[in-house]
Amino acid sequence: MGTTTPTSRVRIRVVTVFAEILQELLLGSCPVGPLPCRAATRAYPSIYISPGQRASGTATDHPNDYLCQCGSSFSVNNKWSFSLFARHALEERNAGLPSDHIGTSAKVIYAAAPAMGHNQESHPECNSRVPAILTALEKMKLTSKFRGLDVVEVQNFRPATTDDIRSVHAGPYISGLEKAMYQASEKGLIFIEGSGPTYATATTFQESLLAAGAGISLVDSVVAASKVSKDPPVAFALIRPPGHHAVPKGPMGFCVFGNIAIAARYAQRAHGLKRVFIIDFDVHHGNGTNDAFYEDPDIFFLSTHQAGSYPGTGKIDQIGSGSGEGSTLNLPLPGGSGDTAMRKVFDEVIVPCAQRFKPDIILVSAGYDAHLLDPLASFQFTTGTYYMLASSIKQLAKDLCGGRCVFFLEGGYNLTSLSNSVAETFRAFLGEWSLAAELDDPSYLHEEPLNKVKQIIEKVKHIHSF
């Protein structure tokens, strides 16, 4: 098989979403509704078959027809008509769980769901984000092509089910979003929430299911690996739309479904991992995750974020309620906080909280918008900060919960700092030296407000009694 480019691999991965649509076509009505032929062929130009076999995506005589390597042809048009290929794709999708393909020597596993159809070019949360990361990983030789079995990409993951989504989100929101796809199909793009603003296209519902499904599959893989190895791989869901702002009753702040919250509930339900520790180092408060578990004593949510930034929540005295009182820790830090501040926070707040909580798994909302170069906030993290966080969280998981740890992509809107920081995260997972000194320019940094940071740390220690 010929070598594929990062872009072609992105296209191949995206088409996994076809399985859900095809299943509805074969067993019932299509939930997405009639989509324009042009949008469908742009979003799904080739078909994923199995871990060892990819579809050719070769066009037949009709511009909307494609030919699978198996010889079955299929057509995408306004009525979503498909040939025998449909059942073949569904059978192949169910061939095995992702964990079946993870070797015991893997150090990093990841899954990519770039949501290429969910896009508004002028929007900071656009479909360039995940491809930029994948291109950087390839360029920096951090993929399985260069690392063999040390780095494994999970490709045959399944979309989340509506039951998975319902474990966090209200039924009326889920059904309402699904119905909104008809309107999005007609208009091309609609706005489903105004504070972000959060948009939707005709493929948003299905691609959001795929994003949540990637996280679920990585939980499966990490848990399976932890049963046969004392040093399982760390996992990273390179997914969009992001999720930590999505509240139980609806979308918010670029986010559609709460990917990390859904994975947390899945870990409890499917694997009996009762106690879940969630670290959110996105520059913005993860209000959706906060709200989902505010009364739950078994899920500890810890957020570090810029004080006064969007969405204005995450006050230091918001600590949970009812039986969940004390299981939420919000640490709003002043603008200008950077590497030194975050190292203090990790050592003095995150570690003791995690040690006292005694988690069964650690999940991480990995937002890279706290970087100095990111346009949407005013922290001054560097790629070195993200290397430190990844390395430290990996060790924390090894010390406390058998190494079970999954990262979920959240924010990060400067494509260069985003992709470099994720690459540094991978290097930390691999146990390699950081290259941050080659990527960061210290001349941009200014003095951190460390006195204020110290005061806030002392206050949160007092509130949470540690």
For residues 203 and 118, the answer to whether their CB atoms sit within 8 Å is: yes
For 94-135, the three-class secondary structure string (H helix, E strand, C coil) is: CCCCHHHHCCCCCCEEEEEECCCCCCCCCCCCCCCHHHHHHH
Longest Cα–Cα distance of the chain, Å, equals 71
How many Å apart are CA 298 and CA 275, to the nearest integer? 5
Give the whole-angstrom CA distance, residue 432 versus residue 152. 17
Q: Which amino acid is at 247?
A: V
Residue 50: which H helix or E strand, with range?
Answer: strand 48-50
Q: Judge whether 333 and 382 are in contact, CB under 8 Å.
A: no
Report the alpha-carbon distance of residue 17 to residue 45 in Å, rounded. Answer: 12
DSSP string, 249-316: TB-BTTBSS-HHHHHHHHHHHHH----EEEEE-SSS--HHHHHHTTT-TTEEEEEEEETT-TT----T
How far apart are alpha carbons 353 and 346 in whole angstroms?
10
Instruction: Judge residue 40's burial from the number of C-beta atoms within 10 Å of its C-beta, 0-12 exposed, 13-18 middle, 19 or more buried.
Output: buried
Strands 198-200 and 190-193, bridge-based pairing: antiparallel
Nearest-angstrom CA–CA distance, 78 and 384: 49
Query: Residue 297 has which token pair?
Result: 């004593």
Q: Which residue has the tokens 């913005």?
A: 284
Which tokens go with 132? 């930029």
Q: How far is CA 15 from CA 18, 189, 355, in A?
A: 5, 20, 41
In degrees rounded to 5, what are phi and psi of residue 336? Answer: 95, -10
Q: Coil, strand, or helix at residue 363?
A: strand
| Contact in structure between 277 and 302 (CB atoms under 8 Å) | yes
Q: Which residues are catalytic?
A: 245
Phi/psi for 331 (5° steps) reads: -125, 85
Q: Other C-beta atoms within 10 Å of 425: how many?
A: 28
